[in-house]
Amino acid sequence: MMKRLSFIFFILVFITLTLAACGEEERLAFGVESSKDDVDIRSVLEDDAITFLIYNPSGIGDANMTLKQGKMPAQVQVRIFVQGLENLELTYNDVHIVASAPTRGDGPIIEKLIKDGEETELDEASPYWLQIEALPAEPGGLFFGMPAESPSFLITLPQDFHSSGATEFNLKWVDFYR
């Protein structure tokens, strides 16, 4: 009888530890930092995609996102609530991408890759291309207790980010109308 109870106890402990380990693998955690006090960052995880929502009233900011636990989602997006992107910089590993997107998407998006000391203009066929979409203003979410009603830009990190195995990236931005 005692051997049987010990065996059942062992099985229950094994199942509990296995389920706990499985739960740990599926959890996703990011460390998010900014050097600016007025940068408010939230995240939304849906299926195998994460979107970081960034509100920055001054229009000049930065953010560093680091994967702390789990596997990098297949799609990583950043939505910055600004009028326009005079300058956007994305850095991961040894890659530095600089982009500019006009207000309301009424002009060309310009992107450049700076890698190994060389600067190259990018086009949509490049694995370094940032997908940048201008989104209209919409009432809704609160940041610092204020409605986030300004237009925004939805930025999808490039194909190379995922294939590089990067677990961290840094963004810097300047709004046209700061």
Chain centroid offset of residue 102 CA:
21
119-164 tens-digit pLDDT: 999 999 999 999 999 887 766 555 555 555 678 899 999 999 999 9
Around Cβ 127, how many Cβ atoms within 10 Å?
13
Considering only CA atoms, which of 170, 148, 156, 171 is closest in space to residue 82? 148
Q: Are 58 and 36 in contact (CB under 8 A)?
A: yes
DSSP 3-state of 101 = strand
| Cα(14)–Cα(22) distance, integer angstroms | 12
State the pTM of this model: 0.79
Give the residue, 62 or 104, on which the prediction is more confident.
62
The residues spanned by each domain of the chain are 29-175
